[in-house]
Structure 1
Amino acid sequence: MQLKVIDHPCVWDRFVMGNPDAAFTHLFGWRRVIASVYQHKPVYLAAVEKGSIAALVPLFRFSRPFYPPEYISLPFFDHAGIVGKSQKAGQFLLEKAWKTLDCKNSAGLNVRQDTNFDLSGLTLTGRRPKIFTEKTGLTIALAPDPRQMLAAFPAKLRSQINKGIKNGLTWDIGGAKLLPAFYKVFARNMRDLGSPVHALCFFKTIFSVFPGQALICVIYHRGIPAAGGFVFRFKNRLVNPWASSLRQFRSLNTNMLLYWQMIRLACNLNLDIFDMGRSSKDASTFRFKQQWGPQQTPLSWYTWAGDRHRSPGETLSISPWQKLPLGVANIAGPRVRKHISL
């Protein structure tokens, strides 16, 4: 078995599309999105056996001011760890990556994994991983027909969805044309939460790199964007990495209608799964998503600390950020967000 750097998207994505455990974040295009928008250096590695890929992992050399670089798979997302044909191939890949990238002399290596690979027993130059398990993935199995899907929800949930419609809410689903409306809601909500916002060009680049796979759903109240969700079609599922709503409209059930329209879209696309993204256990977003009856998938983030490891104490909640004028927050947000790997 050999370690190889893969620079050919077709070779990489052929393995990703053929592996049932691969996530949308494993697609080669995220290399271009993250590198071009936030300038983190990609290192896409594969374990190759007899000329074929046996395992792969997308890594980025993640830089922060005043801190040593750290190798992360994959910054800004829930999980994009090892995808492979065997535990042996996956362990070989990380052992070789650790040595080849000289992770020992950096801040270390962070691999965000779902349940497909247990890396808790893997030691790298004598180091055992620190394991973060506070986040979980949430998915909903879809019915073939939206009416059947709606009927399967509890009566209270259906009533909340219908109240949103009775309250005069409307919706639109489309591509990049809806990005200004989505971003208006998303940026305002992030500021209100005290979180630096992703750059607008981050989302524009996603549409450019993944034409036809990214979509937006916007909920309106009297023509004003009140809630929005960004979804990504991958294999048999529709994934929702980002969703936001404005506080002043939430009493109108904007969130309920937004999630129903995204689920309805997934049904109409004949997909099998609606992926609600990650949530911290017992957080308010987790409790909201629990209403829809999702299946939980534990996420494990493994960190092997290097000799230069210093924890930056990352958080997306910065209390003083809430007090910034929206225009200032939108300008400063992406410059801060690029250095927060969460």
Structure 2
Amino acid sequence: MPRRFQIKSQFLSESAYPAWDRYVLHHEHGSPYLTTAWKKAVQVGYGHKTSYLAAFSGSDVVGSLPLVTVKPPLVKNRLVSLPFCDFGGLLADDPAVAENLLNQALKLAADQRADLEIRCPAPAGAILSHGGFIQTTNKCRMLLALPSTADELWSGFKSKLRSQINRAEKNGLTCRLGGSELLNDFYQVFTRNMRDLGSPVHGKSWLTAIIQAFGKQAVVGVVYAGNSPAAAGIILCHGRTVSIPWASALREFNRLSPNMLLYWTFLKFAADSGCSSFDFGRSTPGEGTYSFKKQWGAAPAPLAWYRLGTARSQADEQTNGSLRRTMESVWKCLPLPAANILGPCLRKYIDR
């Protein structure tokens, strides 16, 4: 007989955080983004309202749907699962639980007069069955299955990849792993890289909130050329999976291959820590980041992002794309101090 369940609370109570995190930890599509640590970071770092829907069988969570309300000025609110990461989504032990949670989300979106977007790591039956959602991305995650040791991982690399990593070390680069003590050096690289890409940067308060919420499960890595940070990233550990939401390298150091040393250090850490999977994050097939991740042996896993409503017209998509390219060009020309002040003010509303 199927287990009985009930929607216990529209807003997950703090006392149920451990049950939620246990459920996410053991679910095949669980990730650090779906934990209550991400919830805390969103609240503290950006002040967004969170609505985490949970289905319970007794005291056990049997379904989850985390939602965050993003309220940009002058435009319609968005209810997103989840912002600032690759996916959130609907987890459930059976179709009845999934349907109930989805109905709760639809009601919440209607009450808030908000657009609803649910970003899943794989196709979601309840959402597909509803019929009112459209898929909004062709991006994929890049996943690497890890062997039991870093030595095994290294031996499986092609010689070209190994030589690129060795080049960084021969060029005198070093890499440190740590926590909040490395955040300033990380941010020094991150802010410049994001400005050069034409994208508003996350505020340091957001990244500080991430480090505090995840604790030892968040690891900062910085590659140095002498005393100068040349590349940096942050990984989040969740069970036997490691995800890398942010990584950057400074262009003037590209010839020294700092990015290769950064990723190798993270991969070595993950393999030697007993992790079985490394999530390189989302990419568009055929683009540069996709090829970079693929060279490590990562394989694509298509993302299933769904938005409630009708598809945007081709004209609208072209207009949005043109506007985005124009804004990127303007942003690249900003002085770094100005980009660092303005960026976080805008980035809290850019939920991708």
Report the TM-score, using the length of structure 2 for normalisation: 0.89
1:313 Cα deviation from its structure 2 partner: 4.8
State the aligned residue count. Answer: 335
Query: Residue 110 of structure 1 is aligned with which of 109, 113, 117?
Result: 117
Taking a change above 3 Å as real, the CA distance of residues 109 and 168 of structure 1, as seen in their structure-2 partners, is same
Q: Which has the higher helix share?
A: 2
1:166 Cα deviation from its structure 2 partner: 1.0
Q: Tell me whether 1:218 sits opposite 2:222 in the alignment.
A: yes
Query: Residue 266 of structure 1 is aligned with which of 248, 262, 270?
Result: 270
Deviation string, structure 1 residues 26-72 (Cα, Å, up to 9, x no partner): 11122221122212110011133556432111101111111121110
1:146 Cα deviation from its structure 2 partner: 1.5
CA distance in 1, matches of 2:336, 2:65: 37
Paired residue secondary structure (2:62): strand
Taking a change above 3 Å as real, the CA distance of residues 45 and 248 of structure 1, as seen in their structure-2 partners, is same
Paired position in structure 2 for 1:7: 13
CA distance in 2, matches of 1:188, 1:105: 37
CA distance in 1, matches of 2:288, 2:194: 15
Paired position in structure 2 for 1:191: 195
Q: Tell me whether 1:35 sits opposite 2:39 in the alignment.
A: no
- Alpha-carbon RMSD across the aligned residues, in angstroms, is 2.2
1:242 Cα deviation from its structure 2 partner: 0.5
CA distance in 1, matches of 2:59, 2:226: 59
Q: Tell me whether 1:58 sits opposite 2:66 in the alignment.
A: yes
Contact kept in structure 2, 1:73 and 1:80, CA below 8 Å? yes
The amino acid across from 1:245 in the alignment is A
Map 1:298-337 onto structure 2 (within 5 A).
298-305=302-309, 313=320, 318-337=328-347
Map 1:26-105 onto structure 2 (within 5 A).
26-49=34-57, 52-99=60-107, 101-103=108-110
Map 1:108-187 onto structure 2 (within 5 A).
108-115=115-122, 117-119=124-126, 121-123=128-130, 128-187=132-191
Deviation string, structure 1 residues 246-272 (Cα, Å, up to 9, x no partner): 011111111111111111111221211
Deviation string, structure 1 residues 218-264 (Cα, Å, up to 9, x no partner): 11112210001101111002211100000111111111111111111
* Deviant stretches of 4+, over 3 Å: 48-52, 310-317
Paired residue secondary structure (1:318): helix
Report the TM-score, using the length of structure 1 for normalisation: 0.92
Contact kept in structure 2, 1:120 and 1:131, CA below 8 Å? no
CA distance in 2, matches of 1:51, 1:217: 38
Deviation string, structure 1 residues 283-302 (Cα, Å, up to 9, x no partner): 21111111111121110110
1:119 Cα deviation from its structure 2 partner: 4.6
CA distance in 2, matches of 1:60, 1:148: 41
CA distance in 1, matches of 2:137, 2:77: 23
Paired position in structure 2 for 1:286: 290
CA distance in 2, matches of 1:313, 1:75: 19
Contact kept in structure 2, 1:71 and 1:103, CA below 8 Å? no
Provide the identity percentage: 36
CA distance in 2, matches of 1:116, 1:21: 11
The amino acid across from 1:151 in the alignment is S
Contact kept in structure 2, 1:91 and 1:122, CA below 8 Å? no
Taking a change above 3 Å as real, the CA distance of residues 277 and 102 of structure 1, as seen in their structure-2 partners, is closer
CA distance in 2, matches of 1:102, 1:75: 15
Paired residue secondary structure (1:262): helix
